Chains A and B, each alone.
Chain A
Amino acid sequence: MGVAGLGDCTGSAVGLATEANDMNGEMIDSDGIDRRGFLRCMSWAGTAVVWTVAAGVPRSGLIGSAQAATEGLRFAQISDSHIGFNKAANPDAVGTLQEAIKRIGAAQDRPAFMIHTGDVTHLSTAGQFDTAQKVISEAGLTTHFVPGEHDILEDDGKSYLNRYGKGTQGAGWYSFDQSGVHFVGLVNVVDLKGGGMGNLGHEQLEWLEKDLAGRSASTPIVVFAHIPLWVVYADWGWGTQDGAQALTYLKRFGSVTVLNGHIHQVMQKVEGHVAFHTALSTAFPQPAPGTAPSPGPKTVPPGELRSLLGTARVSLVRNDTPLAIVDRPLAG
């Protein structure tokens, strides 16, 4: 069984030791990073892996989809559909989104709903939003969105907010509850500063603090946003500059799962009770951090593309641990 790419996991918001775990469970040192504490970073691509955390120790295992099914809440994450993208890395981003939606809709362990972690479109045009909505609705599932930077290129984000902004605050952030889990959708793609990374801003952070304030620490929390809330790779802007502030409001909760997109590859990390996960794109892969001169669409042989695109399925296992996440490539 091959691990595609991602042998290594670079950087962290707190500068702790990072380790990459290959699929045989062997720990691989990744030197050159300060080792002041406990932090693990695992990454896989190309296969379905369930991710669970017990007592702060991350565990992974290859599983079939039947085993992954649980009695509890389960939902799907789709990300970075980039409708309108048509370059060499994937001339048919509509087609691969359709494949992903079909697989979600047809799954035996059909999810209760979907979240889309942004870059629904490539250039924010009305036509691209219309196409995306048409394809996504074919799953027949309620879908909760947060915008990516590609969704707010026109009219200060109005083309996004007119479609998905109902009942949201500010640039489109909101929260909701389902099956005892509290979901928070954040926007970290607005008001970006030169030289910086993703940005939440004071108004949203204040809102988040209030939104979480009255809740019991035993409530499982799922936070989703487009750009990773943790610093995956600062050189490429893959992180959120005030993400650490948001995390301080989340620390007291026993189960926190942070779901992001933007980097078009799977990266995972656990810090205390908080599990971080980034999803595959349905449109095109991007290089692993530092393995190319820059981020951006990565062209791979056609036979490999579908092993690098896909969705994630997320399930509540127990109320006191982060949720289990299974990455589901379109193929492989």
Chain B
Amino acid sequence: MTELLEPGVFARRTVLRLALPAAGGLLLAARATQAQAADDVKVTIDNFVFAPATITVPKGTTVTWVNRDDIPHLVVCPSVNVRSKVLDTDQSFAFRFDKPGRVNYFCGLHPHMTGVVVVTG
């Protein structure tokens, strides 16, 4: 069962903490005890590109998208029924992938922007 960890935009301070494996691990442990030991992964949006475009993560990993463009973007993952809030500059969105499989996603504002999260078992 996939579960929305942070269904919205959260502060940059939180993002920076998530980006650090140690602090991120603590935060996850506090919030989602079921999560397996997995480093958090960050995907940045620069110049209308998700980078890295494809990431492979073990299940239980929280992926955080950070928008570094001066135009808003929005993350849509149809297969897991996820749609972020609009992400303005420097805002971010996080989602924990609990179910193995391949999740294609795109930007709801600029659908030519696409990416993939491969979740391993």
Contact = CB atoms under 8 A, between A and B. Distances in A.
Interface of A: 87-89, 122-124, 149-150, 153, 192-197, 234-237, 293-297
Interface residues of B, number: 23
B112 A196 contact: yes
B66 interface: no
Contacts of A87: 70, 89
B108 to A, nearest CB: 6
Interface of B: 47-49, 69-72, 74, 76, 78, 86, 88-89, 104-106, 108-114
A296 B47 contact: yes
Contacts of A296: 47-48, 69-71
B109 A294 contact: no
A293 B51 CA distance: 14
A319 B89 CA distance: 47
Contacts of B47: 293-294, 296
Contacts of A122: 72
B111 A123 contact: no
A296 B110 CA distance: 11
A98 B85 CA distance: 30
A89 B48 contact: no
Contact of A237 (B49, B78, B88, B111): B111
Given A195-B111, A237-B111, A123 B71 contact: no
A197 B89 CA distance: 23
A149 B70 CA distance: 16
Contact of A197 (B70, B71, B78, B111): B111
